[in-house]
């Protein structure tokens, strides 16, 4: 079979396109804010990870422009060789101070973080233990590693302990978990996880992609939220959510970060984060810390939306964060829901198998600090209207 033949055999997406309900690669014609332009019309954006609403902040945009003026459009090389700029080091130092780790290393994408860290730190004869709903990048990183892989039932601490019991104490064991799970919007039971990690002599890595700017007393993530910073070995995250740019980071001990600098392939063989991206993150991190009211507004919006959806009869699963799923069931019904909602002026995202179990398709909402209560109420009204039409309630 040729590659061309394999590509032609894939017809599922084309069938959905032909039905007029294809929900992917929808072009946005404006900045990424609470309201966006699509096909020349205003659409309420309820599907963005721009939690603090900083991607369009004038100071963030100006910081990106200044970084280009000083350093140019790109780095023309990897961090390992000619691509480390002074602002890369500045950001690493400020992030380490923010998340309270000894050191931080920044990467070109969050995906590169999980690919490289797991492949580099956990090897043949070691064990990676994962929640069965971790992000795809963690799964991909574990596949690159030669380590043994073990999964446990989502957020089930008894299941985690049963797995840990089967692994020899003298083996290197890394428990990897999302701080906030990106599909259902629930929070990892990190206090229980670090308790078990100490009991069974494991290291712990938390991916705070959806937690930075959202959880913690200062928006400083899941470990801070549970007050277990000293018991978590590695804290990772992305810049593409609350930090209004693109890139990623890993924080840990100085020795581990030093080791990653000299062994991590996804760092050494990838071009550095661009000056504009890093400049934007530096400013977003500053605003995150000086304007805690943004995080408070995000949580006010979250509580209002969750309460309203539950009162309407929607099944929001285990959500307890600004990521709010609505259970739909059938994949095609989820596509139809997205299409009809966009016709009503509301943008949401579908989540279908294999990202969730077959028959467990979701509509996924993501809230922002820049949403008003009027935006929330309008979204609920439209969700209820279309949900009744599709018999989702």
Cα–Cα nearest to 46, from 380, 375, 365: 365
- Residue pLDDT, tens place only, 357-370: 889 999 999 999 99
**Catalytic residue of the set 241, 297, 375, 382:** 241
Distances (CA, A) of 171 to 192, 252, 253, 366, 384: 21, 20, 20, 39, 52
Domain residues of the chain, as ranges?
A: 10-45+292-389, 58-290
- The tokens of 342 are what? 């966009």
What CATH number labels 10-45+292-389?
Answer: 3.90.1150.10
Q: What is the pLDDT of residue 353?
A: 85
For residue 327, give Cα distances in angstroms to 113, 186, 317, 379, 392: 31, 14, 7, 16, 8
Q: What is the mean predicted confidence (pLDDT) over 5-19?
A: 94
What is the dihedral angle through the alpha carbons of 90, 91, 92, 97, rounded to the nearest 10 degrees? 90
Q: Is 319 a catalytic residue?
A: no
Q: Is 39 a catalytic residue?
A: no
Strand partners, 324: 365
Out of 145, 182, 266, 274, the active site residue is 182
Question: pLDDT tier at 393 (50, 70, 90 boundaries)?
Answer: confident
* Residues 45, 47, 48: CA angle, nearest 5 degrees: 85
Tell whether domain 58-290 is in CATH 3.40.640.10: yes
Q: Are the C-beta atoms of residues 177 and 130 closer than 8 Å to each other?
A: yes
Q: For residue range 196-233, what is the model confidence (pLDDT) as tens digits?
A: 999 999 999 999 999 999 999 999 999 999 999 999 99
pLDDT bracket for residue 1 (50, 70, 90): confident
Q: Active site residue: 210, 333, 339, 382, which one?
A: 210
Say how far apart CA 191 and CA 278 lie, in whole Å: 32
The model scores a pTM over 0.85: yes
CA distance 60 to 244: 8
Q: For residue range 34-87, list pLDDT tens digits in order.
A: 999 999 999 999 999 999 999 999 999 999 999 999 999 999 999 999 999 999
Say whether pLDDT at 343 is over 90. yes
Q: Is 14 a catalytic residue?
A: no
Residues 38, 347 contacting (CB under 8 angstroms): yes
């Amino acid at each position: 079979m040729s590659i061309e033949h394999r590509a032609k055999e894939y017809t599922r997406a084309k069938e959905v396109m032909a039905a007029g309900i294809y929900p992917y690669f929808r072009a946005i014609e404006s900045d990424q804010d609470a309201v966006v332009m699509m096909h020349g019309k205003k659409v309420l954006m309820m599907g963005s990870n721009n939690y603090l609403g900083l991607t369009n902040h004038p100071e963030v945009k100006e910081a990106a422009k200044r970084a280009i003026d000083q350093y140019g459009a790109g780095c023309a090389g990897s961090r390992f060789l000619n691509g480390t700029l002074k602002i890369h080091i500045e950001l690493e130092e400020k992030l380490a101070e923010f998340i309270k780790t000894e050191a931080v290393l920044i990467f070109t994408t969050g995906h590169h973080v999980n690919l490289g860290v797991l492949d580099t730190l956990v090897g043949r004869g070691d064990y990676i233990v994962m929640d069965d709903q971790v992000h795809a990048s963690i799964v991909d990183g574990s596949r690159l590693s030669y380590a043994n892989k073990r999964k446990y039932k989502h957020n089930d601490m008894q299941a985690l302990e049963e797995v840990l019991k089967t692994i020899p104490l003298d083996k290197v064991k890394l428990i990897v978990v999302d701080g906030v799970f990106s599909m259902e919007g629930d929070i990892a039971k990190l206090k229980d996880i670090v308790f078990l990690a100490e009991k069974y002599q494991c290291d712990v890595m938390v991916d705070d992609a959806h937690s930075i700017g959202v959880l913690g007393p200062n928006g400083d993530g899941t470990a801070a939220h549970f007050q277990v910073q000293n018991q978590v070995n590695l804290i990772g995250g992305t810049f593409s959510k609350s930090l209004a740019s693109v890139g990623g980071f890993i924080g840990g001990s100085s020795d581990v970060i030093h080791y990653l600098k000299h062994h991590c392939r996804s760092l050494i063989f990838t071009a550095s984060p661009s000056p504009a991206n890093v400049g934007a993150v530096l400013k977003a991190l500053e605003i995150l810390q000086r304007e805690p009211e943004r995080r408070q507004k995000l949580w006010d919006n979250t509580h209002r939306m969750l309460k309203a959806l539950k009162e309407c009869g929607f099944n929001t699963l285990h959500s307890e964060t600004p990521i709010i799923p609505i259970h739909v069931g059938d994949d095609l019904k989820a596509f139809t829901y997205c299409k009809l909602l966009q016709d009503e002026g509301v943008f949401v995202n579908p989540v279908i198998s294999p990202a969730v179990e077959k028959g467990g398709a979701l509509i996924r909402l993501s809230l922002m600090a820049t949403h008003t209560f009027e935006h929330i109420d309008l979204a609920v009204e439209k969700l209820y209207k279309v949900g009744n039409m599709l018999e989702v309630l």
